[in-house]
């Protein structure tokens, strides 16, 4: 389940150079993304082509040329449908509502007298979900004097990391490239005091923070873990012989 970010924004100020150098872009799913070329005045009669592919840019997605004095721009791809927009002045390509499936290699060919090629690698990430903090001690709370041990977890994803902060300092962290397993990170402190602890889930384009409320998590009066009153009742059984 992905949350859609409905606001749009444009990445700006990216430079690139002709040749085989690849410019890497990391983007948030749902955004409108412009692949900037850094060019400002492409020759008005240039033949401009964009190619795309998950690994190799071998599918033609845009073809723009001047035919008998008229600009003809074709957008071929069914997958991008009406989400593409070419700027002929800069050669830049805008992709609306980008999805993780649009990750891959984008290649720009500009043919004037000579032919120039630019390559871009685009990684699209889903926004991370808010991490959840629960008390690990809960499950064996029947033991007396069980300590409070907060456990933070979040649904996994590409390049995701999960960290605990004490005040502003990161005290532990975990990351995993396997995007199927949920990520777990215990706050490795028994009976944490009232310093401000936060759990942060982050990927290269977004992050989410959950504050630990020790009172609520560990001293919940109706909760099961910390304040545990054991009323012992002794029965004296007299057996008359
Ligand atoms: C096309 O790109 C040029 C140069 O970057 C820019 O000045 C212009 O505003 C762009 N046009 C559109 C329609 O975005
Ligand atoms: C954006 O794309 C997703 C599929 O990737 C689609 O479900 C959604 O309706 C689109 N949103 C807009 C505003 O076009
Ligand atoms: C938790 O803390 C103990 C002692 O402070 C240490 O030995 C252990 O390696 C820590 N575990 C993790 C997962 O950080
Ligand atoms: C909380 O614990 C940290 C480190 O464990 C310590 O530096 C800090 O002084 C403690 N704060 C209180 C109020 O006990
Ligand atoms: C922590 O939780 C308790 C109980 O739900 C609440 O009264 C208190 O305001 C919370 N503290 C913070 C800092 O959110
Ligand atoms: C505290 O206890 C109440 C009642 O059992 C429960 O609804 C609430 O979720 C608990 N809060 C926490 C943080 O465990």
- Domain segments of the chain as ranges: 22-125, 132-218
Q: Do strands 93-95 and 33-35 pair parallel, antiparallel, or not at all (unpaired)? A: antiparallel
Nearest residue to 149 (alpha-carbon basis) of 183, 189, 182: 189
The Cα–Cα gap between 29 and 104 comes to: 14
Sheet architecture: strand order including 132-135: 132-135, 150-154, 183-186
pTM of structure? 0.71
What is the 212 CA–ligand 5 centroid distance (Å)? 10
**Of the ligands numbered here, which is closest to the C-alpha atom of 90?**
1
Q: What is the pLDDT of residue 216?
A: 81
Which secondary-structure segment (H or E) carries 216? Answer: helix 214-218
b/e sequence 3-31, b meaning 16+ C-beta within 10 Å: eeeeeeeeeeeeebeeeeeebebebbbbb
Residues contacting ligand 5 via CB (< 6 Å): 213, 215-216
**pLDDT of 161 higher than 90:** yes
**pLDDT of 239 higher than 50:** yes
What is the 105 CA–ligand 1 centroid distance (Å)? 23
Q: What is the pLDDT of residue 215?
A: 80
Residue 217 φ/ψ, nearest 5 degrees: -75, -40
C-beta of 89 in contact with ligand 1 (< 6 A):
yes
Quick check: 94 and 32 in contact, CB under 8 A?
yes
CATH superfamily of 132-218: Immunoglobulins (2.60.40.10)
CATH number at 22-125: 2.60.40.10
Lowest mean pLDDT among 79-88, 138-147, 205-214: 138-147
**pLDDT of 4 higher than 60:** no
**What share of the chain in percent tops pLDDT 70?**
77
The Cα–Cα gap between 158 and 168 comes to: 25
The Cα–Cα gap between 28 and 126 comes to: 6
pLDDT tens for 35-83 read 999 888 889 899 999 999 999 999 999 999 999 989 999 999 888 989 9
| Residue bearing the bigger pLDDT, 222 or 130 | 130
Domains 22-125 and 132-218 share a fold: yes
Instruction: Look up residue 144 and give its two tokens.
Output: 């007396």
């Amino acid at each position: 389940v992905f949350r859609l970010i409905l606001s749009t924004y444009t990445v700006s100020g990216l430079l690139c150079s002709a040749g085989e150098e690849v410019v890497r872009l990391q983007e948030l799913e749902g955004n409108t993304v412009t692949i900037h070329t850094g060019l400002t005045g492409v020759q008005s009669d240039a033949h401009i082509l964009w190619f795309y592919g998950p690994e190799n840019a071998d599918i033609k997605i845009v073809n723009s040329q001047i035919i008998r004095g008229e600009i003809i721009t074709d957008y071929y791809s069914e997958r991008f449908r009406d989400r593409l927009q070419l700027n002929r002045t800069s050669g830049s390509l805008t992709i609306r509502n980008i999805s993780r499936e649009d990750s891959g290699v984008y290649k720009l060919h500009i043919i004037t007298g000579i032919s120039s090629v630019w390559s871009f690698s685009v990684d699209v990430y889903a926004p991370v979900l808010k991490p959840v903090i629960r008390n690990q001690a809960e499950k064996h709370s029947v033991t007396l004097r069980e300590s409070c041990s907060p456990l933070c977890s979040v649904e996994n994803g590409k390049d995701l990391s999960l960290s605990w902060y004490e005040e502003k300092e990161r005290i532990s962290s975990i990351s995993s490239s396997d995007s199927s397993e949920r990520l777990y990170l215990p706050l490795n402190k028994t009976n944490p005091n009232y310093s401000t602890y936060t759990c942060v889930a982050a990927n290269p384009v977004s992050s989410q923070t959950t504050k630990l409320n020790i009172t609520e998590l560990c001293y919940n009066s109706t909760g099961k873990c910390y304040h545990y009153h054991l009323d012992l009742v002794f029965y004296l059984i007299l057996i008359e012989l």
